[in-house]
Amino acid sequence: MIGKIRVSRVFRLLAPLGILVALSSTPGLAHGHPIVVASKADTEGALLGSMIALVLEREGIPVETRLQLGPTQQVRKAILQGDIDIYPEYTGNGAFFHGLESEPAWRAPASAYELVKRLDAERHRLAWLERAPANNTWLIAVRGDLARRSNLTTMDDFAQAVRTSMNLRLAASTEFVESPAALASFETTYGFRFPRDRIAVQPTGNTMTTMRAAAQSIGGVNAAMVYGTDGAIATLDLVVMKDTKGAQIVYEPAPAVRTEALERFPRISKALSGVFASLSTAKLQALNAEIVVDERPARDVAERYLNQLHHRPGG
């Protein structure tokens, strides 16, 4: 079988047929194995991972996809071990990757990006490419009718409502309730304590579950843990409480790539920079909504967006 024949012998066999030039110019043979593109298991991971794969394919770079590979720690381990080459990560996760959760730099977009970029380059030979100006951090959203009736727009408003015993009930994940970086950080920053007996605790971080609970008043719930770029926020008529004091770490998405892969295909950086720079919070919310609300495949949504971006003036 040809799979057991040495590559040099394949070249000798095919050269007389004029096929050697074609083989030697094929990206996969000229540069070794394909670039392995992965993502986390969530909706936005599938969207951004699909964008990365499509952009690389359009650049003529050989690609293998392992999208929705698993949770954060599994995908991080895979790239550190060299099992994958590139995936979309969030700047704020650098706080936990490097054990620097109390570092103030994580609460500002530019400093969070520069810090994780430097640490991963120094310690792991990982490069962080252009980030998206979209913050997918933990937030709290309130039912639209209640928020409008009570003039709730910021976390200061929310904290005051809790302190005055407004009948707020929150749907949130176990992690959101127990992590010092989540609800506890909001409470410390804004000076309130949310009664734990008014929290409907969900075992997973699936925000569609928490958002639906608030939107449909399941069990009296009228507030929900959400992520900043969740696609169903507007559809479910929820109002996000603005974190004006920066209680939460900033989570801006960016491609994290092994330096070795970037050295083989240096055009990866330029090819992806414009795409991620175009992804605002509102844009990611809209794209995520096409997947979770309209039930369109993530790759289709990514491809349509890239086509639109390519045809814009200056795109």
Ranges of the chain whose pLDDT falls below 50 = 1-30
Q: What is the pLDDT of residue 11?
A: 32
Report the C-alpha gap between 194 and 162 in whole angstroms.
7
Q: What is the pLDDT of residue 23?
A: 37
DSSP code per residue over 175-244: HHHH-TTTHHHHHHHHT----GGGEEEESS--HHHHHHHHHTTGGG--EEEEETT-TTTTTTTEEEPB-T
Give the contacts of 269 (CB within 8 A, at least 6 positions apart): 127, 129, 130, 262
Q: What is the pLDDT of residue 203?
A: 84
CATH value at residue 207: 3.40.190.120
| Prediction pTM value | 0.83
Q: What is the pLDDT of residue 315?
A: 55
Integer Rg of the chain from CA: 23
Same domain, yes or no, for 147 and 232? yes
Q: Which residues of 141-159 are buried (b: 16+ CB within 10 A; e: fewer)?
A: bbbbebbeeeebbbbbbbb
**Sheet containing strand 238-240, strands side by side:** 199-202, 170-173, 223-227, 138-143, 238-240
Same domain, yes or no, for 201 and 119? no
**DSSP 8-state code for residue 154:** B
Q: What is the pLDDT of residue 22?
A: 37
Evaluate whether residue 6 is within a structural domain: no
On whether the CB atoms of residues 75 and 84 are closer than 8 A, the answer is yes
CATH value at residue 84: 3.40.190.10
Residue 109 lies in domain = 31-134+254-310
How many domains does the chain divide into?
2
Report the C-alpha gap between 145 and 311 in whole angstroms.
39
Evaluate whether residue 126 is within a structural domain: yes
The predicted-structure confidence for 229-259, as pLDDT tens digits, reads as follows: 999 999 999 999 999 999 999 999 999 999 9
Evaluate whether residue 3 is within a structural domain: no
Q: Rounded to the nearest 10 degrees, how much is the dihedral formed by the CA atoms of 218, 219, 223, 228?
A: -50
